[in-house]
A and B are shown apart, each in its own frame.
Chain A
Amino acid sequence: MTSISENLRAAQGPRVDLEAGGAGAAASVPPRRRRPKGIGWRMRLEIVALAGPALIVFLVFVILPVLLAAYYGFFSWAGYGPATDFVGLRNYITILQDSAFQEALKHNVIIAVLSLVIQGPLAIGLALLLNRKMRGQSALRVLIFVPYVISEVVVGLGWSLMLQSGGAVNGLLEKIGLGSLQQDWLSDPNIAIWSLLLIITWKYIGFAVILFLAGLQGIPEELSEAASIDGASYWQVQRTIVLPLLGPTIRIWAFLSIIGSFQLFDLVYIIWGQYVASTAGTSTMATYMVANGRNAGSYGYGNAVAVVMFVISLVIALLYQRFLLRRDTDGAISGSKI
Chain B
Amino acid sequence: MSTATIERRRKRHYSTPVIYFVALVLVALMLVPVAYIILGGFRSNSEITVDPAGLPSVWQVGNYFEVLASGVFWREVANSTIAAVVTTFFVVALGLMASYVLAKYSFRGRGLMYSVFAAGLMFPMAVAITPLYILVRGLGLMNTLGGIIVPQVAFALPVTIIILVPFLQAIPRELQEAAAIDGASRIGFFWRMVIPLSKPGVITVGILAFIASWNSYILPLFILNSEGSYTLPLGVQAFASQYSVDTAKVLAFTSLSMIPALVFFSLFERRIVGGLTGAVKG
Contacts and interface: CB of A to CB of B under 8 A. Distances in A.
B157 A58 contact: yes
Contact of A210 (B120, B165, B240, B273): B273
A51 interface: yes
B281 A161 contact: no
B118 A65 contact: no
Contacts, number: 384
B232 interface: yes
A241 to B, nearest CB: 15
A333 B282 contact: yes
A57 B69 CA distance: 39
Interface string A122-135: 00001001001010
Interface residues of B, number: 116
Interface stretch (A20-28, A84-92, A96-104, A187-195): A20-28
A13 B217 contact: no
Contact of B128 (A4, A66, A155, A333): A66
Interface string A205-239: 01000110111011000000000000101100000
B270 A138 contact: yes
B265 A145 contact: yes
- Of A138, A213, A248, chain B has the most CB atoms within 10 Å of the CB of A213
A80 B121 CA distance: 30
For the residues of B in contact with A, the DSSP-based class is helix
Interface in B218-273: 218, 222, 232-234, 236-237, 240, 247, 250-251, 254, 257-258, 261-262, 265-266, 269-270, 272-273
Nearest to A28: B111
B97 A50 contact: yes
Nearest to A50: B97
B195 interface: no
A151 B215 contact: yes
B133 interface: yes
A39 B119 CA distance: 27
A28 to B, nearest CB: 6
A213 B130 CA distance: 36
B279 A12 contact: yes
A15 B228 CA distance: 44
B33 interface: yes
Contact of A66 (B12, B94, B131, B133): B131
Interface in B103-133: 105-108, 110-133
